[in-house]
Amino acid sequence: MIIPIIVTAFAVYGIFAKLRLIGTTTGMVLAHSLICIPYVVLVTTANLYRFDLSLEMAARNLGANAIKTFFRVTLPIIKPAVLASGIFCFIISLDDLVLALFLAGSTRMTLPLRMFSDIQFSIDPVVAAASTVFIAMAVGTIFFLSLARKERKH
């Protein structure tokens, strides 16, 4: 989270070039997962900090195995953190043009790369339309979250 993305992209490019992962879907998924790990760890550990272990122990004492305890007790409690982590990862991956420029090669075209090339090489209303959709989604999400928060208070 502290290292500038250009340094991360350059380092990942050097490693992925040796592993022949430049221009592959696997390389893009690994790179985007790598930059999202700190955000997932931060959000999830913040949620687990207030997690009550006695709930998990009670499920285990009542006969549930570890997998059943995880899916029936732990996961429902940390589900907001998992969802928030997924949203953060989506936003970070969507915003990460530099990493996509380094790793996409000539065969892969991500949405940020497509928008960048459209802005750079042509005048096309698609970028403006995509930006409008993203802004509308953000405003809609904030609106629905504020409604949900008001409903929870009452």
Does the pTM surpass 0.75? The reply is: no
Res 112: pLDDT: 79
Q: What is the pLDDT of residues 100-154, one digit of tens each?
A: 888 887 777 777 787 777 777 777 777 788 888 889 988 998 888 888 888 777 6
| Cβ-defined contacts of 73-81 (< 8 Å, 24+) | 77/51, 78/44, 78/47, 78/48, 78/51, 80/47, 81/43, 81/44, 81/46, 81/47, 81/48
The enclosing H or E element of 109 equals none
Quick count: other Cβ atoms within 10 Å of Cβ 1?
Answer: 9
- Decide: residue 77, CB within 10 A, 0-12 exposed, 13-18 middle, 19+ buried: middle
Res 1: pLDDT: 66
Contact 92, 39 (CB under 8 A): yes
Sketch the domain layout of the chain as residue ranges.
5-106
Backbone angles phi and psi of 142, in degrees to 5: -65, -40
Q: What is the pLDDT of residues 18-60, one digit of tens each?
A: 999 888 889 889 998 998 999 999 999 998 888 888 898 999 9
